[in-house]
Structure 1
């Protein structure tokens, strides 16, 4: 679940090594944070 917009998101191959650290569903959410 995204900590910015609260949307759930699915596993992606590009995140396979850092899945436990993924907190945002998109770059846009990552930039806004609040």
Structure 2
């Protein structure tokens, strides 16, 4: 078993906060860009209003 601090980490593109690997992202970790659904949805919303 790995310790939490040993898991891979990324920075969220929306909020800029670091987040760690989760088991549900095991197969798609390279594609994960946001720490949560909320950040992902906010990023989409901001993109539409800017256009």
TM-score, scaled relative to structure 2: 0.64
Q: CA RMSD in A?
A: 0.7
Q: Which stretches in structure 2 are left out of the alignment for 5+ residues?
A: 1-10, 47-51
Give the number of the structure with larger relative contact order, counting CA–CA contacts within 8 Å between residues 6 or more apart: 1
TM-score, scaled relative to structure 1: 0.92
User: Following TM superposition, where does structure 1 have runs of at least 4 consecutive aligned residues deviating by more than 6 angstroms?
Assistant: none
Larger helix percent: 2
Q: How many residues align?
A: 34
Q: Which stretches in structure 1 are left out of the alignment for 5+ residues?
A: none
> Which structure has the larger Rg over C-alpha atoms?
2
Larger strand percent: 2
